[in-house]
Structures are given as C-alpha cells and as structure tokens.
Amino acid sequence: MAIKYIFKSGRRIRLASLNNFPKEFFYGYFHLIKKGFKVDLIEESDLGINKKNNLIFRIFFRLLSRLIGFPINHFLSLIKKNNINLLNNSDILIVTTSSMGLTLGLLKSIRILKKPVLFFVMGLIQYKKSSFRNILYKFLLKDIHLVCISKDEKEYLEKNFRKESLSYIPFGVDKDFWHPIEENDYDADYVLAIGNDYARDWQTLIDAWDINFPTLKLVTTLPVSTNKKNIKIIKGSWEKKFLSDLDIKKLYLNSLYVIIPLKETIQPSGQSCCLQAMACGKPVIMSNIKGIWDKNLLVNKENILLVEPNSVTSLKIAIKELNKNQILYDKLKLSSSKLIENNFNNKIMSQNIESKIIEILGDIN
C-alpha cells in the first residue's frame, strides 16, 4: 500500500535535522512507516508550486485566486504531466491545506487524478459563508474524503456543506516531545502567547495587558506592535523555523501559563498551541470560539480557562484570576496534562488515520 503525503513546507528540513522535533504535524507519517506501509512525503516546492515566475503573473493569479476562492497557481503547477504521474503513482494521497485539497478535488472532478484523497479540512467554509464558494467547493470536493479535527466544525459542515465522506479525527500532539519537567513555577516570570494564523486576536490581548501584569512574550510573524514596557514581541514561524522546536518548547516550559486570544471562527484556531501548552503542563486561557474542537472535553475552569472572544474585559478578568488563584492554577496544570494523555496525543491521532486509510482503500477494493 503506497501512501503519499503532500505538505506545504517545514517537514523535510526537520527530517534532515539531527535535532529532536515534534511529530504531530506529520499526521501519522511515522506511525504508518512503523506499521510497514510504503510512505512518501513531498512538499509543494517539489511540484513547482510557488516557483518564482513573472511578478505581473504572480500578482494577477493571486488576486484572481482570492476573488474566486480557488488556488489557480496550484492547479497550473499540478496539471503538468510529470506531476500527475507522480500523484497517480500511489494508492492514496493525504493533504492538510485547503489550496492543495481544492486543487486535487478539481483534478479528480475532471478525471485526471485517479487516486483517492484524504483531506484534513480546517476552516474550509467560513463562519460567514459565501454561497458561491459553498457551491464551488461542493463541486470540487465531491469525490474527496474530508476529515475534520474539530467536532463542531464537522457538525457545521454536516449542516452547511455535506454529510457524506466526512469524518472526525481528534488532533493530538507529540507527548514524547511536549511534556512537563520538574520545575518551580514561581521561578517563571513571563506569560506566553504564540501563533501566526489570522484568527489570533493580538490587539485584544495587548489592550487587556495591564502594567502590573507579568511580562508577556508574544511570538508571531503577524503585524503587531505596542509600546507597553511589559510586552515583548518575538518573531517566530513553524514553517520557516525562525525559532527552533526546542526553543519553542523552552518558551512553553519556562512560562507561567499560555494565552490564546481568538477572533470568532468555526475553524479550530489555536488548537495545536493549546494542546502543546497543556502537554507541557501549562494552564491555558483561550477564547471560547465556535471552533472549540471538543466542548465536552474542554471544560471551563476544569482543564482550561475560557473567555468571551473579542472582549478586553473578559480576558483581563481571566488573567487576574489566574495570576492570583493558586488553587485554580494547580488544578488546570494537572487536568490539562491528563487531557493530553487520555485524549489528544499523536498516537491516538495516528491510529485513527491508519484506520481511515484502510477503510477508504477497503471500500475501493
């Protein structure tokens, strides 16, 4: 059984590194190799995607792609004969970005791509949905197997998109990499906020940060600035490795707790950062968005501190409470680690991915 993963970037550089790194963003790759599957990993650059072309053409295709909601440049790269042959030389394709999922969907629709596709969707249909894009995506993805990593997003897609070939697999982090260490939390002197997706609400966090709060280390590549003395902005990107995985791990481990402020979205934004922090034994304050991936397991003041989205007041109250309430702090520390151990770890995710692949290929055969 030949399985091909198609990723954006950031994986090959880690595979070539001698350093230890977390495995969750490989979506079962290592697990399937251990189970004896023939597994290949390719990145978009291997397919000629984002290759530097004429500047005018790049601008034109980018604007057109945003207008219609379809990555034209991806399609023009993949339609080449050598890329089609590469994709068809497998039993199943696994993708994790909307641009690649939609492109492979079109190739399936016009019967150029012959192989099944397992597409991990995250924010495919926005909360404020577009009727045109909804219709377009229904056509493009009619032959694609969709996997949600959020229960609420799955329910949302079932209601607003489709019910067939749609499943849920819980995302899980690598608990062998992200794990607590023996430490004295009273030695920690900063709070950590981290993330680069556009649903991060950094301005609300900055506005909520009082002068008497601990230092806030805010790690992002998004455009954000402040003149508050107790906020330090650090440039960080998983794909480009502005900070190494070990650097990020140290930031988690040496922090008091982690804050993830979010704008309202159905997408499970903040999921990986939240689970990484929890795996490191850190309490998490996060916005209670519609995209919370499992509202039965993520319970306010039991294993997480949830706040109203886009509310400076709500966020400030939660920060003050966690700063002063040692009983709540210790409770969140313990319960968050247990949540990873029992529900949201890479082993569980990888086993579910394996089962889904076997199911899909079994249905075909």
Q: Distance (Å, rounded) from C-alpha 59 to C-alpha 63?
A: 6
Which residues of 70-204 form beta strands (DSSP E)? 92-95, 117-121, 145-148, 166-168, 190-194
Q: Distance (Å, rounded) from C-alpha 112 to C-alpha 95?
A: 17
pLDDT tops 90 at residue 239: no
Q: At 256, list the tokens.
A: 């008091």
* pLDDT score, position 186: 46
* pLDDT score, position 242: 74
Q: Averaged over 89-94, what is the pLDDT?
A: 96
* pLDDT score, position 69: 75
Q: Distance (Å, rounded) from C-alpha 172 to C-alpha 346?
A: 4
* pLDDT score, position 58: 61
What percent of the chain shows pLDDT beyond 90?
77
Reported as a pLDDT band with limits 50, 70 and 90, residue 241 is low
User: What residue ranges define each of the domains in the chain, with the CATH number in brackets?
Assistant: 2-172+346-364 (3.40.50.2000), 185-342 (3.40.50.2000)
* pLDDT score, position 59: 65
Q: Distance (Å, rounded) from C-alpha 9 to C-alpha 46?
A: 10
Helix 131-140, helix 98-109: angle, nearest 10? 60
pLDDT tops 90 at residue 363: no
Mean of all residue pLDDT scores within the chain: 91
Q: Distance (Å, rounded) from C-alpha 197 to C-alpha 239?
A: 12
* pLDDT score, position 57: 61
Q: Averaged over 21-34, what is the pLDDT?
A: 97
Reported as a pLDDT band with limits 50, 70 and 90, residue 22 is very high
* pLDDT score, position 296: 95
Question: Which comes out higher in pLDDT, residue 183 or 250?
Answer: 250
pLDDT tops 90 at residue 201: yes
pLDDT digits (tens, 9 = 90+) for 39-90: 999 999 999 987 665 566 666 666 766 767 788 888 889 999 999 999 999 9
pLDDT digits (tens, 9 = 90+) for 121-136: 998 877 555 677 888 8
pTM: 0.91
